[in-house]
Amino acid sequence: MTNRGAGYTSPPTVSFAAGGGTGAAGASLVGLNNTDGNYLTVHLQSSAVLKSGTGNMFLANGDITGNGFNYVVLYGRNGGIWHEVSRT
């Protein structure tokens, strides 16, 4: 993520560049913040990686790689840290 921006009233376009892979897809969300009590379900296809990073999403246990499951449910708590709840 190069610029997460601010003040959006509708979801901005998501695009992927470089990396050498194919078939990447993503969606942006408006109104979701890293406050306690939010749930987020992420769909990971094949070996996609959900990366923990500064300024956007902090994952309590580091990066999550989608091998062997399709969805991961995260729960925001402790001041903006996302904790894994389940994988399916």
Give the span between the Cα atoms of 46 and 48, in whole angstroms.
6
Give the span between the Cα atoms of 58 and 44, in whole angstroms.
17
Whether residue 1 has pLDDT greater than 60: no
Q: Give the pLDDT confidence score for residue 4 in this predicted structure.
A: 63
Average pLDDT, the chain: 75
Q: Give the pLDDT confidence score for residue 44 in this predicted structure.
A: 77
DSSP 80: T
82 exposure class (CB count in 10 Å sphere: 0-12, 13-18, 19+):
buried
Give the span between the Cα atoms of 12 and 4, in whole angstroms.
10
